[in-house]
Amino acid sequence: MKKRFPDDFLWGASSSAFQIEGAYDEDNKGLSVADFNSFKKSQIQADTKVAADFYHHYEEDIDLMKELGMKTYRFSIAWTRIIPDGDGEINQKGIDFYNNIINKLVKNNIEPFVTLYHFDLPFALVEKYNGWEGRETVYAFERFAKICFKEFGDRVKYWQPHNEQNLIVRVNERINIYDENDEYKIDKMRAQMDYNMCLAHALAVNACHEMIPDSKIGTAVSSSVTYPLTCKPEDVYAARMNDNFKVYYMLDMHQYGEYPGYYMNYLKERNIMPVMEEGDKSILKKAKMDFIAVNYYRTNCAEALKANDEHPFGSREGTVDFNMYGLFKMSMNPNLKATEYGAAIDPSGLRVALNEYWQRYHLPLIITENGLGTPDILTEDGKVHDEYRIDYLRSHIEACALAIEDGVEMIGYCPWSFMDLLSSAQGFRKRYGLVYTNRTDDELLDLKRIKKDSFYWYQNIIKNNGL
C-alpha cells in the first residue's frame, strides 16, 4: 500500500490552559483575561474555575494520551501561573506544574508542543498598560518567553509564541477592549495591539533560536479560506482580500518582517497607523518562522461590499467573520452543510489552505486544531457513539493526505481537542474531545474521563500511520 504520511509524522491532539486546567487561583496563579471574560458568563455556562480539572488529573490524562498512542501533545502554558501579575515575581509552583507535565510526556515518548499565549493575557497587564496596547506588555511577554525557554527548553523542541493572533485581534473581548464604543478609536487601538503582538512574536522567535539552538518555533494561524460567492471579478477580488486581511497580512509580517502593501494602505487611509519604533524593523526581519501551525474549521464565501458615506472604506461590522466596507461581505456557502453551531464542513478547503500556505512560504505545516464541536450524548451504559466526529476527522485527514500528495510538507496532525474542555462561547454544551469529560455547565459530577468511539478510531489511525 502506498505510504501517505511520513514515518515520523506527529499524530497528536491539542488543548489550551484556560480551557482545560481549572484551578484558576491555586498555587498563586493570577487572574487572566480569559478568566475575567469567562466569569462574566458564569451564570449561563461553565467558567475557568474548574474547567476539565486537568490541573488535578494530568497524570491520568497523560496516561490516556499514551494509550491513544499520541506522538505529540500541543498545549499552552498559562502566563499567570509562571508570572501571576504578568511582569513581576516568578512563581515556582507554576514552573513545577509544567515541569511535571513535560516530564511525564517525555517519559511516555510524547513530544511536548508548547504554546506560550493562548488567549490568557494576565489581567494585571490590562490594568497597568491596557494589555497589548502598551509596549510594556511586549517586553513582559519577551521575559515570560525567555523564562519558559530557560526552564523547559531542554525537553521542549516545538514552540508557538501566540495562538491565533489573527483571530483574537478581531474579537474585542479577547484583546481586552471593553469600555470603548467609538469604532474609529477601537480600530486604532486594535491596530496598535496587533503590531505589538507581532513585535512580541518576533522577540520570542529570536530568543528561542538563540537560547535553544535545535528548537522549532512558528505561528499558529486561524485559517481563512474564502470562495467568491459568484464568478464576478469583484467577488473574486473580495474573496482574496478577505483572506489577506484575516491571514496573510499577519503571516507576511511574521515571515518577512513587514506588512504587505495593501495592509499598509488600509492603515494609512483609515489613519490608524500603529506606532513603530526605530529598531523594530531589524527585530522583525530577523524573526523567521520554522513552521506554520494551521487551525482549520471551516470556509466562507465573500462578495464585494461598496463603501459609502455612511460606511467609509475599511469600517467593519461584526467580530470574527466581519464585513469590511469597500472590500468584502461575508456569507455562508450554500453548497455546504454546516454544524449546528454554524461552521461549514469543508475538508476540501483544508487541502486548499495547506497548498496555499506551502506555496506562499515553503515552510513545513502542522495542523494544531481541527475538530467538530457537538453536544455529545453519554449513553446509559457509559459510552459516547460519536460517528459524526469520526466522519469529520476521517475526511479532514484524507485532505491532509491529498495535500501531501500535492507536494506539501506536513509534519503533524493534532485535532481539537484531546478531551472535552471549556468552549469559549458554549461551555461544556459544545464538545470537541476524543475523551468525554463527565460534567455539565451546571454540575461538576465526577469529572470521569470516558473514551469515545472516536478515541478508539483515532488510536487505530495513529497505529497505522494514517487512513
The two beta strands, 216-217 and 158-162, are parallel
Told to judge if 369 belongs to the known catalytic residues of this protein, a careful annotator would answer yes
Told to judge if 258 belongs to the known catalytic residues of this protein, a careful annotator would answer no
Catalytic residue (choose from 369, 380, 405, 409): 369
Other CB atoms within 10 A of residue 212 CB:
18
The two beta strands, 365-369 and 449-451, are unpaired
Contact 420, 428 (CB under 8 A): yes
Q: Give CA–CA dist 34/445, Å, rounded.
A: 24
Catalytic residue (choose from 111, 142, 164, 303): 164
Length of the chain as a residue count: 467
Residue 251's identity, in one-letter code, is L
Other CB atoms within 10 A of residue 117 CB:
28
3-state SS of the chain is CCCCCCCCCEEEEECCHHHHCCCCCHHHCCCEHHHHHHHCCCCCCCCCCCCCCHHHHHHHHHHHHHHHCCCEEEEECCHHHHCCCCCCCCCHHHHHHHHHHHHHHHHCCCEEEEEEECCCCEHHHHHHHCHHHCHHHHHHHHHHHHHHHHHHCCCCCEEEEEECHHHHCCCHHHHCCCCCCCHHHHHHHHHHHHHHHHHHHHHHHHHHHHHCCCCEECEEEECCCEEECCCCHHHHHHHHHHHHHHHHHHHHHHHHCCCCHHHHHHHHHHCCCCCCCCCHHHHHHHCCCCCEEEECCCCEEEECCCCCCCCCCCCEECCCCCEECCCEEEECCCCCCECCCCCECCHHHHHHHHHHHHHHHCCCEEEEECCCCECCCCCCCCCCCCHHHHHHHHHHHHHHHHHHHCCCCEEEECCECCECCCECCCECCCECCCEEECCCCCCCCCCCEEECHHHHHHHHHHHCCCC
Other CB atoms within 10 A of residue 136 CB:
16
Q: Give CA–CA dist 373/430, Å, rounded.
A: 5
Q: Give CA–CA dist 203/235, Å, rounded.
A: 38
Q: Give CA–CA dist 69/466, Å, rounded.
A: 13
Active site residues: 164, 369
